[in-house]
Amino acid sequence: MTEPSIILRKIWADEDDDFFEINMTVKSPYCSAEINFYLDNEELKELEKGLIAFSHFKQKEFTWITGSEVRNVTHFINVRFFFHLNRGHVGIEFILDNKLDIPEHIRSQFYVTTELASLDDFIKQLQKLIKKETDMVEGIIYTEV
């Protein structure tokens, strides 16, 4: 069975479960990266809203950013979804920066491709994470184009 390209796992949450730490693992056939960062449900809802608009062809591309490129922040994550080759394929660009000091610092940029149906499944799982029905989202199966 094919491994998912994105895994989001909630590893810590505050008492209200509104602010939490996420472990994100991203894999392509050529590389992988893992990063821990803090989020709240509002940021996940922004991701959900943008992905729904994108998957329903209301946007040609969608970029979700959490954190910042400036110094003294905990992370920078930029995930850009775009249509690739106009055949139902979606390209996803990942820029992941954990903002740690050397030698723990990572900054990774790479791409995966998938099909639109895989993105729809990811949205459904993301909605379960937002509703606190699960602590993990696995999805976006890599598709070679």
pLDDT in tens, 109-138: 999 999 888 999 999 999 999 999 999 999
Nearest to 64 by CA among 79, 82, 43, 83: 79
pTM: 0.90
CATH-assigned architecture of domain 4-141: 2-Layer Sandwich (3.30)
pLDDT tens per residue, range 67-98: 888 777 889 999 999 999 877 899 999 999 99
CA distance 64 to 92: 11
